[in-house]
Chain A
Amino acid sequence: MERTTLDLWVGIFVVGGIAALVMLAMKVGNLGTYNVSESYQVHAYFSNIGGLKPKASIKSAGVLVGRVTDITLDMDRYEAKVLMSLDSRYHFSKDTSAKILTSGLLGEQYIGLEVGGEEEMLKSGDEMTMTQSAVVLEDLIGKFLFSKAQESAN
């Protein structure tokens, strides 16, 4: 085979391979939607995070505004410390509340943000003080049974 034809085919092969990788990264993966460089970090304490995992999404009014970067157990408070990285295009007031929510009945868990009324905005390193933990199904059932039992006792 001619050297030039060979080079051409191998060139097509390599370009095709790179195109497939780029397509996987941008169209299939999250590289196209999520920009790591421009973000700021905040944290919040939850008494129970349920099934929240690192890289879970953070949404406000349903719009993706950031991701959970790290989850640790704080040994002073015995509460989960959740580190969040928020897109620097979006600003939230200091009294924004964070809730752990579930998408759909069996879907994965995410953090929902609800903006408060304060003027001052959250900065990098700040803490969100108003949090609502995940709803744990067992607790819910337990409460329900307890209230039923009380009802019948009355």
Chain B
Amino acid sequence: MPAARAIREIGHRAINAVWRIGMATRFFVLILMYSGNSFRRFHLIIKELFSTGVMSLIIIIVAGLFVGMVLGLQGYETLKRYGSESALGVMVALGLVRELGPVVAALLFASRAGSAMTAEIGLMKATEQISAMEMMAVNPIARIVAPRFWAGVISMPFLAAMFSAVGVFGGYFVGVVQIGVDEGSFWSQMQAAVDFREDIMNGVLKSFVFGTVVTVIALYEGYDAPPTAEGVSGATTRTVVTSSLAILMLDFILTAIMFRGN
């Protein structure tokens, strides 16, 4: 019965997905429980901030610049038809601060830092480093996982803010410097339309949520990876796929909650 088998397969996958979400949530709670140590010894977090935050800087800045420039170009072409080129600044800034900044930065973060985290922890597990740590009476969640989690959570809003800031300059460069939109209206309309709490802080909040989700997925996949070469590479792929989908779905939900009715 192929139909029954197909339905059974769907059921199996659904159960598996729910089970993994449950395990990841449990893992998240464990991380929070064992986070005390990483704040007492903050240099553990600083070391991870370097490999997650600083190492992602270049890709974030370059990507932000180009996304802003494209927004400037496309926005100008569209707005020109309605004779409202002066609203270019508004369009670039709102697009970046509300959506593209948090989302694209989080997607890049997932593929740059998230996959590296999964691979590193998966390899640590495969080479018995995690078992060794446990045998030394050191809790690996407190010592290895929690500092990486907090580094991810801290660096994500900063990276998103830098992405947006650089993107606005990219839009400014294309719109004002290259095309010749009036500089005064570019900035003043932008400032009139972008609200600090409504737009910027909600963007920061979004990136904070994305940072948490991406880091938990990356760490869970690494910690859960089968200790083999295929296991680690599969986990790395799953990190990028799962966290990208999670970012986009959560973005829809968060946008619906935050910006509804405006």
B-binding residues in A (CB < 8 A): 1, 3, 6-7, 9-10, 12-14, 16-21, 23-25, 27-33, 53, 55, 57, 64, 104, 106-107
Contacts and interface: CB of A to CB of B under 8 A. Distances in A.
B158 A29 contact: no
B53 A10 contact: yes
Contacts of A19: 165
B47 A6 contact: yes
B196 A1 contact: no
A33 B191 contact: yes
Contacts of B196: 25, 29-31
12 contacts: A6-B47, A10-B50, A13-B155, A14-B158, A16-B162, A20-B158, A27-B168, A28-B191, A29-B194, A29-B196, A32-B191, A106-B82
B46 A7 contact: yes
Given A13-B158, A29-B200, A55 B195 contact: yes
Interface of B: 43, 46-47, 49-50, 53-54, 57, 82, 84, 93, 97, 155, 157-159, 161-162, 164-166, 168, 187, 190-192, 194-196, 198-200, 204, 262
A42 B102 CA distance: 38
B204 A6 contact: no
Contacts, number: 91
Given A17-B158, A18-B158, A106-B82, A30 B195 contact: yes
Contacts of A6: 46-47, 50
B228 to A, nearest CB: 30
A6 B53 CA distance: 12
Nearest to A9: B54
A10 B53 CA distance: 8
Nearest to B199: A29
Contact of B192 (A7, A17, A64): A64
B256 to A, nearest CB: 19
Contacts of B158: 13-14, 16-18, 20-21
Contact of B159 (A17, A106, A107): A17
A68 to B, nearest CB: 13
Given A7-B46, A13-B54, A25 B200 contact: yes
A20 B162 contact: yes
A24 B46 CA distance: 25
B161 A28 contact: no
A14 B187 CA distance: 26
B164 A10 contact: no
Closest 4 CB pairs of A and B: A17-B158, A20-B165, A20-B161, A31-B196
A122 B64 CA distance: 47
